[in-house]
Chains A and B, each alone.
Chain A
Amino acid sequence: MGFMAVAVIFGLYADIEITTLNPWEEITKMAMGAVTPNFFETDYLISAIINTIAFAMLGVSVGNLIGFFLALAFHIRLVRVACAFVRAIHELFWALIFIQIFGLSALTGILALAIPYSGIFAKVYSEILEEADTISLNAIPKGTSHLSVFMYARLPDAWAHFKTYSLYRLECGLRSSAVLGFVGLPTLGFHLETAFAEGNYSEASALLIIFFIIIATIRKWSRTQLVPIYILASLIVIPWNLSDISLVNIIRFFSNDILPHPIRVAQSIDVNVLVDLGIWTKTLFLDQALPGIIATIILTQIALVGSGFLTLIMFPLISPKFFGTFGRSIGHVILVITRSTPEYILALICLLLWGPSMLPAIVALSLHNGAIIGHLIGRFTENMNLRPDRSKGINLYAYDILPRIYRQFLAFLFYRWEVIMRETAILGILGIATLGFYIDSAFADLRYDKAMVLIILTAAMNLGIDVLSRTIRSRLRLQTRINVV
């Protein structure tokens, strides 16, 4: 209840105006485009799809491998903190940083995915290993080396969980890879942005339809035995653009660009420099960080409650307790589309319709996260045994189903809280005044020092929400199976 009240109050202050002159005209054009997809712009359509898959494949694989080894060292505090920090920074922010260092080479895209993903993999893998069956350890001969014990007694049982989780992460990786196009890498997002900007909705819908098909069939094509082939193929087809990397750039970035401006221009460190640094910090915080933080928190909270509402509306669509096979297949299509479309692209579409305000972001985040949690809750109701003389319709929903799913629902929702905040910050790049907006502007103005401070602030906020969400979940004794969210 408290969360809902906060969201309503924030809603009063949020800027949710529709600023476009004629949203209906744009909606009509988009709807026309959606039903008349144009698959014949083959010159870039195929390369965009291939690049999207290749970046996802390489980024997720590298992250997977690094994450696995980090998981083995997860008992070390420094490793845990480092992993929490790298995953608190969104892929797009990593990309913005790496573009300054490695230009638009493939390295930028791969690292932007691999670094935050390795932090996520490390955390989840260490949890899987912790929960793995340890009963077989007693039967191992004394004096066996640690590595042999690990390979024979711990890894085999964890392996199946690793595979399931990797598949889920690959799906996330495809979404992230598509979105990397929006900062200039040659993936789907790059062409989508152009198509949307030029109003070529038929081409945009063709791109999105192919993307949905790839994600919907991921279980069919991602076989373990084929992974080495996919990785090899990705290494070959990916546009490396290594000429974009310049050593001078790299050195300048680390030794100069990211130093706060007053220190960079100072001849020597004296009182004046410190005063300047104080002013620099003060303006940065008052003009950018503070408004950014406030907007990010407002948007996050509204989107969190919005996701909750939409979950409760959407999960019955795929639940056998409410709909027959036909009704559910429509429900599945709706949910697959809303959850496979990256929030960023959903927000972009809404932005075109309603103009820049918080509204597109709220709708996009709520739809996407509502569909993800709705999918999980819907699946959860499949195995629910109800009495034969149960009521129907709304009564069934309110008396039988809702009370049963409620704890699970809250657990998933709080688990997504941090994800929602990370995405909220990112949507700033689209012009909504969250932290991402100020970060993107700082990069655009070549003020890397400010960008770095703001990114670290964003990471700190995500870490804070993560801790808060974990505290609330353990207070309410809510449990999630992490490998499904």
Chain B
Amino acid sequence: MENALFSLENSTIKINGHTILSEFSLSIEKGEKIALVGQSGAGKSTLLTQLYQLSDSEVALVPQELGLVRNLSVFHNIYMGRLNRYQIYYNILNLIKPLKKELEKVRPIVEKLGLTDKLFTSVQELSGGQQQRTAVGRAIFRNCPVFFGDEPVSAVDEYQAHKVLSAIAEGHETIILSMHDVELALQYSDRVIGLKNGVKVMDQSTRGMKASDLGDLYQ
């Protein structure tokens, strides 16, 4: 396990005195595509946040609350994924008037996510699913090898969900997604980690697994 990208050893996390994760051990290697499954409240978000905080390299993140700036356009919200790469004056210039060069970089991403006609719409006018896709777009635009998504397609319809998940799969080496849709989770991952009441109850390859095999987690 020397070349593990992330690892937790007997980690226990408490929030306000409540144990959210207990004695959790986990090791994730480069190139793995992992799905976190389990009921809401099982500790998926906490685990993801913990891993994100431990990471020393850059990680593209779609948090559950999305973290969009409501008054800015889809373009600007996506551009925010690379704010740290440019000089301040360049960022400000681009805020006042979207720069052609950046538009050309953002356009292929919004095309994949089906947001082309909303590029200059402010986020507060979008539906929940469109907002979620914008947040995914921002994470993709960061262009990091590692991608974390906390329920990144929970508000998106099935057809769009496939497009979004393929777009994520395409551009990233290592992926960790928490998902409540079991079918989708199995389809886009090669390893599934099941959580129940803060305890890891399953950790195996997805090969040959069926959605019904995960039924126990939701009882």
Contact = CB atoms under 8 A, between A and B. Distances in A.
Interface of A: 133, 135-145, 147-149, 151-153, 156-157, 159-160
Given A136-B67, A151-B95, A142 B84 contact: yes
Contact of B69 (A141, A145, A152): A152
B71 A159 contact: yes
Given A135-B65, A135-B67, A148-B88, A156 B83 contact: no
Contacts of A143: 84
A139 B71 contact: no
Interface stretch (B74-82, B105-113, B183-191): B74-82
Interface of B: 58, 61, 63, 65-72, 76, 80-86, 88, 91-92, 95, 135, 138, 142
Given A140-B83, A147-B88, A152 B95 contact: yes
B216 to A, nearest CB: 33
A131 B189 CA distance: 40
Contacts of B65: 135, 138
Given A148-B88, A152-B95, A156-B69, 17 more contacts: A133-B69, A133-B70, A136-B68, A136-B80, A138-B65, A139-B67, A139-B68, A139-B138, A140-B80, A141-B82, A141-B83, A148-B86, A151-B91, A151-B92, A152-B76, A156-B72, A159-B71
Contacts of A159: 71
A141 B81 contact: yes
A159 B135 CA distance: 22
Contacts, number: 73
Nearest to B67: A139
B82 A139 contact: no
A329 B131 CA distance: 42
B66 A139 contact: yes
B71 A138 contact: no
17 contacts: A136-B68, A136-B80, A139-B138, A140-B67, A141-B84, A141-B142, A143-B84, A147-B88, A147-B92, A149-B83, A152-B69, A153-B69, A153-B80, A156-B69, A156-B71, A159-B71, A160-B71
Question: Main secondary structure on chain A at its contact with chain B?
Answer: helix
A139 B63 contact: yes
A157 B65 CA distance: 16
A141 B67 contact: no
Which of A137, A144, A148, A153 counts the most B-chain CB atoms under 10 A from its CB? A148
Contacts of A151: 91-92, 95
B88 A145 contact: yes
B109 to A, nearest CB: 16
A145 B90 CA distance: 12
Nearest to A159: B71
Given A144-B83, A152-B83, A136 B69 contact: yes
A173 B14 CA distance: 54
**Across the A-B interface, the 5 shortest Cβ-Cβ residue pairs:** A139-B67, A156-B71, A144-B84, A141-B84, A144-B83
Contacts of B70: 133, 156-157
